[in-house]
Structure 1
Amino acid sequence: MTELPKTFDPAAIETRWYAHWEEKGLFRPERPDAQPYTIVNPPPNVTGSLHIGHALDNTLQDIMIRYERLRGKDALWVVGTDHAGIATQMVVERQMNAKGEKRTDYSRDEFIAKVWEWKQESGGTITGQLRRLGCSMDWSREQFTMDPHFSKAVVKVFVELYHRKDADGNPAPLLYRDKRLVNWDPHFRSAISDLEVETKETQGGFWRFKYPLADGVRLADGADHIVVATTRPETMLADMAVAVHPDDPRYQSVIGKEILQPITGRRLRIVGDDYADPELGSGAVKITPGHDFNDFEVGKRAGIAAGQMLNMFDADAKVVQTADGLVPEAYLGLDRFEARKAVVEAMKPDFLVPHVTRNKEGEEVAADFEPRVIQTPFGDRSGVVIEPWLTDQWYVDAAKLAVAPMEAVRDGRIEIVPKTWEKTFFNWMENIQPWCVSRQLWWGHRIPAWFGEPLGLMHFPRSSDDPELYSRERPIFVAATEAEAIELAKAYYEEHIDFDDRSIAIEVADAGGHGRDGPNIRVNIFRDPDVLDTWFSSALWPFGTLGWPEGATEKPLPFRGGVGVGPSDQGSPMGQSPTPDPSPEGEGSNSFVSRHYPNDLLISGFDILFFWDARMAMQGMEFMGDVPWRKLYLHGLVRAADGQKMSKSKGNVVDPLGLIDKFGADALRFFMAAMESQGRDVKMDEKRVEGYRNFATKLWNAARFLQSNGVTASTSHEAPAAQLPVNQWIVGKVMDTVAAIDSALADLRFDAAANAIYHFVWDEFCDWYLELIKADLSSVRAEPVEASSLSSEESEALRQAQGERVEETRAVAGWAFDQILVMLHPFMPFITEELWHAMGERDADLIIAQWPLLVTPGDTNAQAEIDWLIRLVSAIRTARTELNVPPGAKLPMVVSDGSEETHRRLDRQSAALARLGRIESLTFGEAPTGGAAQIVVDEATFILPLEGVIDIAAEKARLAKALAAAQKERDALGGRLSNPSFVEKAKPEAVAKAREDHGEKSAEAERLQAALDRLG
């Protein structure tokens, strides 16, 4: 046994124990025959650092993995980081810019090498921070989404989705190339996902313009124009229609007719579409399908194919000529916001409809536009306004892949917790859109597709009138390797063109083309320069990290050959990635995958339900034929103390590492668990974190008390035999707590589990059990027996009996404290491991100890007796406090109407009652005359005479005055809360505060009334 310091210092133990666990491989001990239990960690960005959301998410995961490890399972927590395409490229480019360099100063391969260098030197900061939080991940299998084995899985999935066939062997691709609108970031010159778009309110305008009807057509009211409104006037350079509601009587006569766009002179068709709202503005909407997501759908319904939609911007969001050549030259090259000003100025003389309003004096004034607050999309990393842009991208047919996951949720193979999220899940999945998976970046998984020379550009003799031979569309060859792509290209050209016995050679170049090499034909193909969306690769996380598709061993997957000098794209399916250390035992073996797939549980924030969780379900069921995890737990956000969402702009972001420095990782972890209630967000409260630090200190002091009284580590996993009621009671309470935690964690009720162990440790073990056994542990009898009154034989028998009491109590106390350390370990791993070893010699570390055995408690009558004693002492203490009885005063107690069982209990527990309740004498009979406090416990009344101890009259007056004040405040608050005007109009936080205060004053009034009633 190691004597503990007086003061608990978290910093002194956390680093030491984490290094010990990791060095000894205890995060995943050898348990080949144990039941597997698997969790994969949502991979944080390699550029990231630990934020409060990570702290919540990873704490919950670690609780479950430590809990299942203690229960003897082969618990695997997969850890790794995401290569974070845009974020990482931005970080490296920013460093280059600081040196006066830019990405385009280097070749693609040179830039990729610099990213790998950055990753080796600076990437993965968050992995060290996860260690500080105490996350017991299997670091020996740490993954990275650009690891060679994982990249191979990514390429395989892309290629197979592209080449999918139906049951009859006909092509039925689930991945294809299409022209659609995307969220375009002009800064990065790349498509981005919805998750990377941050919508902000900005001050904008609502402009109204006249579009003249063509060919002398007029509306029913005689007007020769239609008024359209827009918040983005510049887009009118690519207008292709004007939409009106088909039932709007103002416009029914002109549906199908044409209207003129004033600047370009383009003739636009007037289409009837429900998208146009007759109640909004003029009821007419200009349609620019190439630059607005809603307009894109309207355009498709109007019969405009995506390939025909006009595009007026380049990748930098500058105006370019549209396909019909109608954009005036003066606008070409203008930035989109410069173009907005130019368009408004051009329309102002004849076609702008001014916005008329009144000034402070009540006079009518006109302005070019109506000021409005606009919901504007911004790139979350670039900070620039996102532009809907029509471009060719790669898409996954998400609607087809979504079918299997929805069935799995419906039939219970995937359980979503809380269940309330199922409705949201189905609503999104049933209305899912094609998933854009390509990004215009250099860092990431290079798309395994090569473009060839269009047949229509190859001027060779043709042996057929097949129109395909005249196509100018580039053929696409999707393959895992360059060599396979060359073979596909060769077969394609040989099939479609008769080369008159000339042979064909396929070469990979930076651009397409063809020519002659002597008598033979040479065709160049080039690889798609784009990379895949990081969500595409992370969707494979539940099985790609397990070694799929080739299987994997239990060995680590280290890098070899020097980071930063990855292989070239030549013949490489993964591109720009170091070479792995081969694991021969894993080749051709899927045992590791089959053992740990499906995963048991996924814990994630609800905000990535669709971006990651749903996509894992799609890819897992498509490629593994089974769900990726059996249970999906969605937690809420961690908000500021006032309920607001945390943001840097509000200055209310909380740094979890700062909290760990201040209070320790254990305190922060316990706070996260205790506050995590299903379906609710977590409100950050530093005072609560401090409170859990105090809880750890109380546990520390309990250990010191036990040590000072000869209590050491238990030598038994089973509860020691107990004869004393107090020891039987604590054994029963241990069993109750084990059952409560097991039940709570089975239902993922983290708050219930944390509160169960907290209540047991603080209230039942520390406050009551240690107090109740203090006399036995110190070998002091509560009722001294005069030695002269006993014979030597009686004295020896008494000493022996007392020794047996002490021995039993020390054994039970040591066992119960061990069970506390085991049960608390998933929540507070550091302090529990420290105390586990401090209490005595151990065969193993706590992290791999055994979870408590759940057995039927012993004598329930003994447990009931101690519960009764605790209720009686608590009532006595409450009465003494409320009635201002001096703390040192010992009081007589009279028991009235007590049953025989109560009399027997008083006889057995009189010593404890005297010590804990400060009772000097105990008699049975009627209540004495005069002022007294009366306490009712079960059938008996316990009277504490107070004459001469306190001033009864003064105490009654004090209590009556305090009661009147509490009732007055209670009733005033109740009046406010019953006023509908206050409840409906006041700020929500003000109403909540009033309800909280009303509850407190109501409880205070009840306590004071009870105290007054006791005095009679």
Structure 2
Amino acid sequence: MDKTYDPANIERQWYQRWEQNEQFKPRGNGRPYCIMIPPPNVTGTLHMGHAFQDTLMDILIRYHRMAGDRTLWQPGTDHAGIATQMVVERQLNEEGKTRHDLGREAFVDRIWQWKAQSGGTIQNQMRRLGASVDWSRERFTMDEGLSDAVQEVFVRLYEEGLIYRGQRLVNWDPVLQTAVSDLEVESAEEQGSIWKLRYPLDDSDEYLVVATTRPETMLGDTAVAVNPEDERFRHLVGRYVRLPLVGRRIPIVADEYVDPAFGTGCLKITPAHDFNDYQVGLRHGCEPINVLTEQACINDNAPAAYQGLDRYEARERIVADLDAAGLLEGIDPHRMMVPRCDRTGVVVEPYLTHQWFVDLTRDVQQDGRPGGWSAITRPAIQAVRQGQIRFVPENWTKTYYNWLEDIQDWCISRQLWWGHRIPAWYDAQGNVYVGRDEPDVRARHNLPADHPLSQDEDVLDTWFSSALWPFSTLGWPEETDELATFYPTNVLVTGFDIIFFWVARMIMMGLYFRDDVPFREVYIHGLVRDSEGTKMSKSKGNVLDPIDIVDGIDLESLVRKRTTGLMQPQRAKAIERQTRQAFPEGIAAHGTDALRFTFASLATTGRDVVFDMGRVDGYRNFCNKLWNAARFVLMNTEGEDCGSDGETVILGDAERWIISRLQKTEAAVTEAIEQYRMDQAAQAIYEFLWDEYCDWYLELSKPVLQGDATADQRRGTRQTLVRVLEAVLRLAHPIMPFITEEIWQRLAPLAGKSGDTIMTEPFPVAEPGREDPAAEADIRWLQRFILGIRRIRGEMDIPPGKPLPVLLQNSSASDRERLERHRPALDFLARLESVKVLEAGETAPESALALVDQLEIRVPMAGLIDRDAELARIDREREKLTRDYERTRNKLDNESFVNRAPAEVVQRERDKLADMTGSLERLAEQRQRIERL
């Protein structure tokens, strides 16, 4: 093995070898185990959320593959309708063209060309992170098979009355000129205003003052609403006002939706431009009047003076006209939530338009009782209630129910050119015909070839095709062997932010079309945030590219990467300053295994995953520790007698102890992975490998290998060194695939293994009969003895290599027996000069003390240290520590700091003060002991 661990030299070659040898395909006759990858956007690159999620899935896949299951991790990408169309449209804009210059067919061809050239970025990044997906089965939501599935589902749902076309309010992006889903809308608090407008009563000189945050929509008002319990306005309910600037007579209605404390207590009701107003309008029979175009300009349903104006230009004109007419009561500043499309950044409009919907709300009869949801929604609720699907952690079940029990019909149409075109055709009379293609439509409805038909221009929402992912990727609507084998899949691994948008819809579709759930468990993980707990985003300048952490990146390249594409120069400069401060030397290369181990260690049950580069540094050191341990083992075992089955070996206490500890670690790791606690699995592996195998067993093996042990003892130690390390490599492989494979290939022959790769070796299974409580108790005593001596050395500043005389007081027969049995290890690891057991009543000289239960371990101080020099050293250390203590205490005494600094910063200062207090106390005690010498 190379002297230094260099992940770059091993990772690419191993992944290529695994993929070339088709190691990721399902094999064997074990239980089927399948995970569907949440399909990333074909336009995308791998971000930290992807890397975290893919690591969790790969741990499960590699674990079950090693457990003997017939394992499939199904890969694929989503066609990402809006995002992909925007990418190619930008390219056309740079050429001075638009998609309309090309026409629909040529534009779609251009997107396919772009995908062929640039659409594989994320797959290559997945390879870099070790994702062991079956690439031979990779799917794309627009490929021929999945397109057939999408078409089949649409047609069947339409025929069964569960898809309809209707006029409803949707989220509308005026730039993209399409409906968008709630997931594509980000609402943030912004500064706005409340305009108070006077609406004259129709039958008197009085007026009502209404409050609105969007005065331009008043042109579409159809009512004014007050709360029925508001005594100020109760007498006006049933009367009418004249809509200013328009002249329309509209009613005053009473509705509990109105908050009497908001604004003036009177709300204008604009059903065509507000989701809540739409519901109020339905309750009171108010006709919705749309006053906006698709571009968010005023349309011809409004007075001519405003037609054609952009919505914000219209706002200014309307407010000015109301003011001139004496109808503007006032304007108050107001902080409010503003919805913006995450793709374009433009404010999204509630917009009344004809769209296609999946019926999720129509009442159905079930067991003779009226239902509250459609034939699609009800089974999805029951599947979780009845335990067919389990959420992990379980608390996300409540979120799932809340969404489904307050569900709205699903808008599935988008006004785009890229996507699955809706399989509906229209004739000149406006009749709608749905079928798998135009010949199918003509055959179904007996339409002659000369009967003109035109296909619907819209495409389906991307979430519609991804809702079919668990069965469409396995060949449905064909009844394939893969579908019979791997459906239902075992677990879905995903973030909580798409429980409804994707998880619930997959459950609905799976139950409806396969009569079974799409997966048995849903493992919900947190969302990756930066070390301050802030959401990662390019605009904040805190995004980390996982590949940069793997390969490393210099500071200047990192700065360019983080600031490129930012529109505001001031923001770019701020992000540059942040980057230079946070990464003054850039990001060092850490390798994939260190990053994966970091992700595993962070996979707790919380909502947030706080990512800190310091943890990756620590796990890079962990990889180094494993590498160096393997080099030690190989240097002491290659070409040596390691014992084979049937040969005589003697296992000492240390060997019995490490084997016993291995059994408990194997059991802990298996249980943790089965319970989706990757953090606990990582912790168990880390503690065993670093704290027990490396820090203790390797050291305990040295007196045997280098001392006067017998050949059988040395053979037992070598065998244990090899077999325990080989087992822990298999244990760690799902989390750290590359380094474990590299070491295993060298170690396997010594352990009697002859497989091609560690990834198909059996996952270690604990053998309870090999646990050894007696050996564990013995080594625990030995460890405490050695740690006691080391603590005394540290406190008294005694050089590590200086042999120490030791006195034992209050020793039991067991202590004395253990002392004799472990004396070689104690002399070697604790550097003992001599050991004297004091008789009962015998007084010990002034000495430093360590305890092992009742046993007192004493190290006489006389002659070991220079008394005056040691006192001077302690005084210098106390003086420096006192200065730091005072500085920190003064900071915490400053109310301004405590009140304004982030809570985590204040807590760090408090923790630092507590540590310094303890250190000062220990130095005082140490000085007193030395003064007595």
Are the aligned partners of 2:193 and 2:333 in contact in 1 as well (CA < 8 Å)?
yes
1:401-454 deviation per Cα after TM superposition (whole angstroms, max 9, x unaligned): 332222222232211112222222222221111111110111111111222344
Q: 1:939 to 1:977 in 2, by over 3 A?
A: same
Quick one: which of 452, 464, 483 aligns to 2:427?
Answer: 452
2:812 to 882, 885, 899: 899
**Change over 3 Å in CA distance of 1:716–1:350 after alignment to 2:** farther
Match of 1:282 among 248, 259, 264: 264
Please list the CA deviations of residues 24-58 of structure 1 after superposition, one character each: whole Å capped at 9, or x if unmatched. Answer: 01112521x11111111110000000111111111
2:153 is the alignment partner of 1:157: yes
Tell me which of 508, 514, 526 is aligned to 1:636. Answer: 526
- Displacement after TM superposition at 1:942 (Å): 1.2
In 1, the alpha carbon distance for the partners of 2:232 and 2:730 equals: 76
Distance 1:682 1:1012 in 2: 45
Which residue in the other structure is 1:849 paired with? 761
C-alpha distance in 2 between matches for 1:344 and 1:298: 25
Structure 1 or 2, whichever has the larger Rg, is: 1
CA distance in 1 between counterparts of 2:158 and 2:645 reads: 57
Partner residue, 2:860: 945
Aligned partner letter, 2:115: K
- Equivalent residue number for residue 669 of structure 2: 741
Q: Are 1:142 and 2:130 matched, yes or no?
A: no
Report the CA distance shift for 1:904/1:930 in structure 2 as closer, same or farther (over 3 A).
Answer: closer
Q: Structure 1 residue 301 and structure 2 residue 301: aligned? A: no
Equivalent residue for 2:655? Answer: 727
Equivalent of 2:190, from 199, 202, 212?
A: 202
Q: TM-score, normalised by structure 1?
A: 0.82
The answer for unaligned runs of 5 or more in structure 2 is 362-373, 552-588
1:770 and 2:698 matched:
yes
- Give the deviation of 1:850 after TM superposition: 1.2
Letter of the aligned partner of 2:434 in structure 1?
Answer: V
Is the CA contact (8 Å cut-off) linking 1:242 and 1:287 kept in structure 2? yes
Residue aligning to 1:871: 784
Name which of 107, 114, 117 aligns with 1:111.
107
Partners of 1:36 and 1:74 within 8 A in 2: yes
CA shift, 1:387, in A, is 1.1
1:293 and 1:625 map into 2 onto residues whose CA distance is 34
Query: Which AA in structure 2 matches 1:947?
Result: A
Relative contact order higher in (CA < 8 Å, ≥ 6 apart): 1
Give the corresponding residue for 1:909. Answer: 822
Shift of 1:61: 0.7
Q: Is contact 1:967-1:1002 (8 Å) kept?
A: no
Superposed displacement of residue 981, structure 1: 10
Q: Which amino acid in structure 2 is aligned with residue 436 of structure 1?
A: C
Residues 397, 954 of structure 1: alpha-carbon distance in 2 compared, 3 angstrom cutoff: farther
Deviates more, 1:912-921 or 1:886-895: 886-895
SS where residue 807 of structure 2 aligns? strand
1:20 — aligned with what? 17
Asked if structure 1 preserves the Cα contact closer than 8 Å seen for 2:755 and 2:761, the reply is: no
Give 1:957 deviation, angstroms: 8.6
Which of 36, 41, 48 matches 2:37?
41
Shift of 1:736: 1.2
The one-letter code sitting in structure 2 at the alignment partner of 1:663 is H
CA drift of 1:863 comes to: 2.7
Kindly indicate whether the alpha-carbon contact (under 8 Å) linking 1:180 and 1:393 is maintained by their aligned counterparts in 2: yes
CA distance in 2, matches of 1:1000, 1:397: 62
Give CA deviations for 1:266-325 in whole Å, capped at 9, x if unaligned: 111111111211111210011111011111111111123xxx411111111111112xxx
Shift of 1:978: 11
The answer for the alignment partner of 1:336 in structure 2 is 311
Partner of 1:794: none
Distance 1:111 1:664, change over 3 A: same
Q: Trace 1:208-223 onto structure 2 (pairs within 5 A).
A: 208-216=196-204
* Equivalent residues of 1:712, 1:839 under 8 A apart: no
Q: Indicate if the aligned counterparts of 2:643 and 2:649 stay in contact, CA closer than 8 A.
A: no
Partner AA of 2:601 in structure 1 = A
Matched, 1:7 2:12: no
How far off is 1:181 after superposition? 0.7
Identify the residue that residue 751 of structure 1 maps to in structure 2: 679
Gap change, CA 1:300 and 1:819, over 3 Å in 2: same
Q: Does the 8 Å CA contact 1:542/1:597 hold for their aligned counterparts?
A: yes
For residues 647-675 of structure 1, the C-alpha deviation after alignment (integer angstroms, 9 at most, x for no partner) is 21221111111001011111111111112
Structure 1 residues 775 and 331, CA, compared in 2 at 3 Å: closer, same or farther?
same
The percentage of counterpart residues that share the same residue type is: 46
* 1:483 matches 2:439: yes
Instruction: Give the structure 1 partner of residue 493 of structure 2.
Output: 603
- 2-structure distance, mates of 1:631, 1:211: 56
TM superposition shift of 1:212: 0.4
Residue 433 of structure 1 aligns to which amino acid in structure 2?
Q
Q: Alpha-carbon deviation of 1:1007?
A: 5.5
* TM-score between both structures, scaled by the size of structure 2: 0.89
- The CA distance in 2 between the partners of 1:717 and 1:612, in whole Å, is 53
Question: CA 1:809 to 1:1006, structure 2 compared with 1: closer, same or farther past 3 Å?
Answer: farther
Match for 1:424 among 395, 399, 402?
A: 399
SS across alignment from 1:948:
coil
CA distance in 2, matches of 1:611, 1:312: 30
The separation in 2 between residues aligned to 1:719 and 1:691, in whole angstroms, is: 41
Q: Is residue 38–residue 601 contact of structure 1 (8 Å, CA) maintained in 2?
A: yes
Contact 1:71 1:850 in 2 (8 A): yes
Give the whole-Å Cα distance in 2 for the aligned partners of 1:152 and 1:712. Answer: 61
Change (3 A) 1:855 1:889: same
Contact 2:809 2:857 survives alignment (8 Å): yes
Distance 1:35 1:237, change over 3 A: same
Matched, 1:537 2:465: yes
Please list the CA deviations of residues 918-947 of structure 1 after superposition, one character each: whole Å capped at 9, or x if unmatched: 111111115654321111112311111111
1:644-793 aligned at under 5 Å gives the runs 644-661=534-551, 662-711=589-638, 723-778=651-706, 780-781=707-708
Give the match for residue 347 of structure 2: 385
- 2 CA distance for matches of 1:414 and 1:115? 38
**Bigger Cα displacement from structure 2, 187-196 vs 953-962:** 953-962
Deviation per CA, 1:113-169: give whole Å up to 9, x if none. 1111111111131011011011111101001001111111111111222222xxxxx
How far, CA to CA, are the matches of 2:795 and 2:126 in structure 1? 48
Once the two structures are superposed, what CA deviation does each residue of 1:852-881 show, in whole Å capped at 9, x if it has no partner? 131022543123211221121112112210
Partner of 1:551: 479
Does 2:252 match 1:270? yes
8 Å contact kept, 2:491–2:523: yes
**SS of residue paired to 2:710:** helix
Partners of 1:719 and 1:631 in 2: CA distance: 47
Counterpart mapping for 1:468-479 below 5 A = 474-479=430-435
- 1:317 has 2:279 as partner: no
Distance 1:722 1:974, change over 3 A: farther
Q: For 1:287 and 1:70, locate their aligned partners in 2 and report how far apart those are by CA, in whole Å.
A: 62
Contact 1:603 1:632 in 2 (8 A): yes
Residue 604 of structure 1 aligns with an amino acid whose one-letter code is T
2:663–2:771 Cα contact (<8 Å) kept: no
C-alpha offsets along residues 536-568 of structure 1, whole Å, 9 cap, x if unaligned?
A: 11011111111112033xxxxxxxxxxxxxxxx
Counterpart-to-counterpart distance in 2, 1:715 and 1:240: 91
Question: Does structure 2 conserve the Cα–Cα contact (< 8 Å) formed by 1:394 and 1:438?
Answer: yes
Measured after TM superposition, the shift of residue 101 of structure 1 is 1.9
Contact conserved, 1:898 with 1:941, CA < 8 A, in 2?
yes
CA distance in 1, matches of 2:928, 2:901: 38
Q: Which has the higher helix share?
A: 2
- The answer to whether the 8 A contact 1:450-1:526 is kept is yes
